[in-house]
Amino acid sequence: MAKASGWAKSTARARRRWRKLHIGVDAGSHEIVAVELTPDDIGDVTAVPDLLDQIEGEIAAVTGDGAYDGQSVYDAVAARHPGAAVIVPPRSTAITSETVATPRDQHLAVIAEHGRIGWQRSSGYSRRSLVETAIYRYKTIIGRRLHARNLPNQKTEAKIGCNALNRMTAMGMPVSVRVE
């Protein structure tokens, strides 16, 4: 019986865990301005305050996918950058607030009137693709795996990778032109 429990512990240690890389990208320069690496069991909304604390200067907008839909995101942005817009699609089951009108309620009203695609076009949600592109660059250039074994060292590794990408971005980005 002791061998069985010892074996279970060793396999539990050997099991790999997923990590989530949250980044903030400057829409003008494509520079990664904030990096947070979290375990897979931590919700996306909990990474937002740490990301916002890393950014110096004012923010015009915070854009994220539906996983960032939560009142804590709106509160964190309002506390640190009162003039910043929060552009996060509400969940399909979202309902309006009963007390006061919130920015999320405005998103819901536009979606009800113009549909989700209309909201995406009018709100500037397409800017989120800059983050997707930065994640693609990270995975292509730096790699899909972390080499460090523990979370603090993996966080450092992710920050070093993002700094390397920023140096490459500063050297120049390709310019794409639509051919008609």
pLDDT at 118: 92
| Tens digit of each residue's pLDDT (9 = 90 or more) over 107-127 | 888 998 999 999 999 998 988
Regions of the chain with pLDDT less than 70:
1-15
Distances (CA, A) of 117 to 48, 54, 129: 25, 32, 15
Name the 3-class secondary structure at 82: coil
Domain ranges of the chain: 18-92+126-165
pLDDT at 3: 29
Enter the CATH code of domain 18-92+126-165.
3.30.420
| Tens digit of each residue's pLDDT (9 = 90 or more) over 23-53 | 999 988 889 999 999 998 888 899 999 999 9
Give the rounded distance of the alpha carbon of 86 from its chain centre. 13
Q: How many CB atoms lie within 10 A of CB 123?
A: 20
pLDDT at 92: 80
